[in-house]
Protein backbone atom coordinates (compact mmCIF):
# COMPACT_ATOMS: atom_id res chain seq x y z
CA UNK A 1 0.00 0.00 0.00
CA UNK A 2 1.17 3.55 -0.62
CA UNK A 3 2.34 5.36 2.48
CA UNK A 4 3.54 8.54 0.88
CA UNK A 5 1.60 10.66 -1.54
CA UNK A 6 3.45 13.27 -3.54
CA UNK A 7 1.89 16.47 -4.72
CA UNK A 8 1.77 17.63 -7.43
CA UNK A 9 1.80 14.57 -9.70
CA UNK A 10 3.56 16.66 -12.34
CA UNK A 11 5.27 20.03 -12.36
CA UNK A 12 6.68 22.01 -15.27
CA UNK A 13 8.76 25.12 -14.62
CA UNK A 14 11.33 27.29 -16.37
CA UNK A 15 15.03 26.75 -15.84
CA UNK A 16 16.26 28.88 -12.97
CA UNK A 17 13.00 28.78 -11.05
CA UNK A 18 12.52 26.94 -7.79
CA UNK A 19 10.57 23.69 -7.65
CA UNK A 20 8.67 22.53 -4.59
CA UNK A 21 7.27 19.05 -4.14
CA UNK A 22 5.25 17.85 -1.20
CA UNK A 23 4.80 14.46 0.38
CA UNK A 24 2.22 13.33 2.90
CA UNK A 25 2.23 10.05 4.77
CA UNK A 26 -0.09 8.19 7.05
CA UNK A 27 1.73 6.57 9.95
CA UNK A 28 4.57 7.41 12.31
CA UNK A 29 7.98 7.08 10.76
CA UNK A 30 11.60 6.75 11.78
CA UNK A 31 12.89 8.68 8.78
CA UNK A 32 11.88 9.92 5.36
CA UNK A 33 14.03 9.79 2.26
CA UNK A 34 13.81 11.54 -1.09
CA UNK A 35 14.95 9.88 -4.30
CA UNK A 36 15.24 10.92 -7.93
CA UNK A 37 14.60 8.66 -10.91
CA UNK A 38 15.58 9.54 -14.46
CA UNK A 39 13.58 8.01 -17.30
CA UNK A 40 12.52 4.82 -15.54
CA UNK A 41 16.02 3.91 -14.46
CA UNK A 42 17.51 3.36 -11.01
CA UNK A 43 16.84 5.61 -8.06
CA UNK A 44 19.36 8.14 -6.83
CA UNK A 45 19.32 8.88 -3.10
CA UNK A 46 19.00 12.61 -2.41
CA UNK A 47 18.42 13.25 1.28
CA UNK A 48 17.48 11.34 4.42
CA UNK A 49 15.74 13.26 7.21
CA UNK A 50 15.11 11.67 10.58
CA UNK A 51 11.89 12.06 12.50
CA UNK A 52 13.57 14.31 15.08
CA UNK A 53 14.88 16.68 12.40
CA UNK A 54 12.92 19.54 10.89
CA UNK A 55 15.10 20.66 7.99
CA UNK A 56 18.09 19.46 6.00
CA UNK A 57 20.08 20.97 3.17
CA UNK A 58 22.23 19.43 0.49
CA UNK A 59 23.51 21.75 -2.21
CA UNK A 60 20.46 23.16 -4.02
CA UNK A 61 18.13 20.82 -2.15
CA UNK A 62 16.20 21.68 0.99
CA UNK A 63 13.97 19.18 2.75
CA UNK A 64 11.58 19.92 5.57
CA UNK A 65 9.70 17.49 7.77
CA UNK A 66 6.63 18.22 9.86
CA UNK A 67 5.78 15.10 11.84
CA UNK A 68 2.70 16.71 13.38
CA UNK A 69 1.23 17.12 9.91
CA UNK A 70 2.86 13.96 8.58
CA UNK A 71 4.27 15.86 5.65
CA UNK A 72 7.55 16.70 4.00
CA UNK A 73 8.63 19.02 1.24
CA UNK A 74 11.52 19.01 -1.20
CA UNK A 75 12.68 22.33 -2.59
CA UNK A 76 15.06 22.48 -5.52
CA UNK A 77 16.45 25.97 -6.00
CA UNK A 78 17.75 27.47 -9.25
CA UNK A 79 16.51 24.49 -11.27
CA UNK A 80 18.47 23.13 -14.22
CA UNK A 81 17.42 21.08 -17.23
CA UNK A 82 19.29 18.13 -15.70
CA UNK A 83 16.86 18.20 -12.76
CA UNK A 84 14.13 16.86 -15.05
CA UNK A 85 13.17 13.55 -13.43
CA UNK A 86 10.64 11.89 -11.18
CA UNK A 87 11.02 12.54 -7.48
CA UNK A 88 9.82 10.11 -4.81
CA UNK A 89 9.50 10.33 -1.09
CA UNK A 90 9.96 7.11 0.83
CA UNK A 91 9.18 6.44 4.44
CA UNK A 92 11.06 4.08 6.72
CA UNK A 93 8.79 3.08 9.57
CA UNK A 94 11.29 1.35 11.83
CA UNK A 95 14.66 2.79 10.86
CA UNK A 96 16.20 -0.64 10.54
CA UNK A 97 14.97 -1.29 7.05
CA UNK A 98 12.93 -4.24 8.25
CA UNK A 99 9.82 -3.25 6.34
CA UNK A 100 11.62 -1.87 3.35
CA UNK A 101 10.88 1.64 2.20
CA UNK A 102 7.35 2.66 1.32
CA UNK A 103 7.25 4.93 -1.69
CA UNK A 104 4.75 7.41 -3.00
CA UNK A 105 3.85 7.54 -6.67
CA UNK A 106 6.19 10.42 -7.34
CA UNK A 107 6.20 13.90 -8.80
CA UNK A 108 7.31 14.20 -12.42
CA UNK A 109 9.34 17.39 -12.72
CA UNK A 110 10.04 18.96 -16.11
CA UNK A 111 12.49 21.83 -16.36
CA UNK A 112 12.04 23.81 -19.54
CA UNK A 113 15.16 25.50 -20.92
Partner 1 sequence: EAGVTQSPTHLIKTRGQQATLRCSPISGHTSVYWYQQALGLGLQFLLWYDEGEERNRGNFPPRFSGRQFPNYSSELNVNALELEDSALYLCASSLALTGLVYEQYFGPGTRLTVT
Which stretches of the chain bind partner 1, using CB under 8 A? 1-2, 30-31, 33, 35, 40-45, 48, 50, 88, 90, 92, 95-106
Name which of 79 and 106 has its Cβ closer to partner 1. Answer: 106
CB of 48 to partner 1, least distance (A): 5
Residues 6+ apart with CB under 8 A from 47: 33, 34, 56, 58, 61, 63, 74
CB of 20 to partner 1, least distance (A): 21
Distance CA 102, CA 2 (A): 7
Distance CA 19, CA 12 (A): 9
Name which of 14 and 52 has its Cβ closer to partner 1. Answer: 52
User: Count of alpha carbons within 13 Å of 77, Cβ hemisphere only?
Assistant: 7
CB of 25 to partner 1, least distance (A): 14
Amino acid sequence: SQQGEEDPQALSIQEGENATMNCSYKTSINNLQWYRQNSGRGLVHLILIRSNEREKHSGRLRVTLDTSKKSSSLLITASRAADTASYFCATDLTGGGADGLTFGKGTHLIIQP
